[in-house]
Amino acid sequence: MKYEIDINRLILFGSVRDDQVCRRIAQISVASGTADTAYYEVQRILLDEIGRGEITGNVLQNHLCRLIAQEENTFTRMAEVGRFEGLGLGRLGEPKPGKLGTIEKAILELAEEEIAVLQHLYQFQFQQNAAIGAADAASVTGRATANRRFDATRLPAVGTDDSGGTCTPSRREAVHQALLKQDPAEAALALARYDRSFGSGILEAASAFLFDQEGLVPAERIDPITFEDLIGCEHQKHALIENASAQLRGLPANNVLLYGDSGTGKSSSVKALLNRFADQGMKLVSIGRDQLDRLPGALDAIAGRGMKFEQYADRLDRPGRNQRESAD
């Protein structure tokens, strides 16, 4: 059955509406005169994304999944702060009681309508499209026919990366599974639960961030250290875990000063704390000791968001202090 994908009607999901790949696929879906050119443009873009998959779908779905996961709009921000918990939607696996208000209901219904469009885009296959099939039939050169055999919608997103290693699905697999649901309403609720668990917009991109003059910057790599790797500081580990647990439950929590000789595990404890609680909505924002004047800006950047934040200032040495000691 032919379905024309009209992404111009998207109000919430602007990143999809403005994406080059999505716009070209929309052109192909209506069998416009530019379908042949659009086909090659899409394949060129997706070719560069092979080997960077995070889901068990295909390369096109991986591209769309990343866009939707990082989307920041009224629906995703409301989901992040728990406005849809009235439908029993807490964080992943955490049911919540309550009622849905008029505004929440209207935004959720709009999201459901748009997700129905996203799902058609998500299931798009070039070889089943009439415009592409007609262009194939009209092709008279062997080169054109051979090129047409390449189709990113037939290639798995998860496979071998550029270095020869094996990729595995990331947490965005939950977004992939949501978009595969038959009912757009169920898909919307699943996406809302994802935003509640991992954040929306830039906050979804990572669990740790730097803060500079441009704002929050996702950390490219996070040390995978755990508390089990830290030996000889059981009391300190217990205190950090209990304090963070209280914060995540919405209970009073304390600021923490970690001090001691270099190499005693202060920074490692902060990283281990993040790794323990990242899947429960914890985010880390790191500010250098020469950037403390940016602290008010960092607080403004995370104000009103639905995640729980740890502000981390590294090596706050005092003038004249023994340089073997530092406080993180």
SS3 124: coil
Q: Whose structure tokens read 């190499």?
A: 263
Residues 6+ apart with CB under 8 A from 50: 59, 152, 155
Pairwise CA distance, residues 249 & 262, whole Å: 32
What is the separation of C-alpha 271 from the centre of its chain, rounded to a whole number of angstroms?
20
Whether the Cβ atoms of residue 37 and residue 88 lie closer than 8 Å to each other: no
Percentage, residues of the chain above pLDDT 70: 80
With beta carbons less than 8 A apart as the criterion, state whether 266 and 258 touch: yes
C-alpha to C-alpha distance for 268 and 314, rounded to whole angstroms: 11
- For residue 140, the model assigns a pLDDT of 38
Distance set, CA 240 to CA 222, 227, 254, 273 (Å) = 19, 10, 10, 7
CA end-to-end span of the chain, whole Å? Answer: 61
Element (H, E) at 326: strand 325-327
The two structure tokens encoding residue 106:
């209207």
Residue 162 is predicted with a pLDDT of 52
| Maximum alpha-carbon separation in the chain | 80
The domain locations on the chain are 7-202, 206-327
Question: How far apart are alpha carbons 281 and 263 in whole angstroms?
Answer: 28
> Six-digit token pair at 53?
């998959």
Q: What does the angle CA 290 – CA 296 – CA 302 come to, to the nearest 5 degrees? A: 115
- Rounded to 5°, angle at Cα 48 from 45 and 49: 95
Q: What is the pLDDT of residue 276?
A: 94
Which residue, 201, 230, 196, is CA-closest to 308?
Answer: 196
**Average pLDDT per block of 10 residues along the chain, 328 residues long:** 81 97 90 74 89 88 96 96 75 56 93 96 78 46 49 77 61 95 94 94 94 88 92 92 94 91 88 93 88 88 93 62 38
pLDDT digits over 289-302, tens only? 778 888 899 999 99
- What are the C-alpha distances in Å from 150 to residues 39, 120, 145, 147, 258? 11, 21, 10, 6, 55
CATH architecture of 206-327: 3-Layer(aba) Sandwich (3.40)
Task: Please name the residues in contact with 86: beta carbons below 8 A apart, sequence gap of 6 or more.
Answer: 96, 98, 99, 100, 101, 104
